[in-house]
Amino acid sequence: GAVVSQHPSWVICKSGTSVKIECRSLDFQATTMFWYRQFPKQSLMLMATSNEGSKATYEQGVEKDKFLINHASLTLSTLTVTSAHPEDSSFYICSAGDSPNQPQHFGDGTRLSIL
């Protein structure tokens, strides 16, 4: 079945650091990937849609300059949290599907903790 790999699974870093999270589709090509943020005991909040070869589409209220997304190939999207602060601490999850209206497959998430 379709597998999405996310790395790293856990990051702890100092305030002001930039952190890059990778999302890879291992056995299928994904022209579109999605980035979510999840707070404890809450649902998934869509942050942005990552489009291969073009600019990402951000949801309302998500800062483009804070959360940089690059989708340079059909199997890799990266999310960079720039100049991270404690309020950016959260669980970040990516997903990908090989076509519209088909199951989205999720990575195992990245727990980001900013000290």
**Contact between 24 and another protein per CB under 8 A:** no
Of these, 24, 37, 71, 105, which contacts another protein (CB under 8 A)?
105
For residue 72, give the DSSP letter.
E
Per 3-state DSSP, the chain is made up of helix, strand and coil in percentages (nearest 5) of 5, 50, 45
Which residue, 82 or 111, is less far from another protein as judged by CB? 111
Tokens of 9: 């699974």
Q: Which of residues 34-93 bind another protein (CB under 8 A)?
A: 34, 41-44, 46, 49, 93
Which residue, 79 or 93, is less far from another protein as judged by CB? 93
Tokens of 114: 């900013």
Q: Smallest distance, Å, CB 74 to another protein? A: 15
Tell me the torsion sign for CA atoms 47, 83, 15, 51.
positive
Contact range with another protein by CB under 8 A, out of 11-19, 60-68, 71-79, 94-102? 94-102
> With contact defined as beta carbons under 8 Å apart, do 97 and 104 qualify?
yes
> With contact defined as beta carbons under 8 Å apart, do 52 and 101 qualify?
no
Q: Which residues bind another protein (CB under 8 A)?
A: 4, 6, 32, 34, 41-44, 46, 49, 93, 95, 97, 100-109, 111
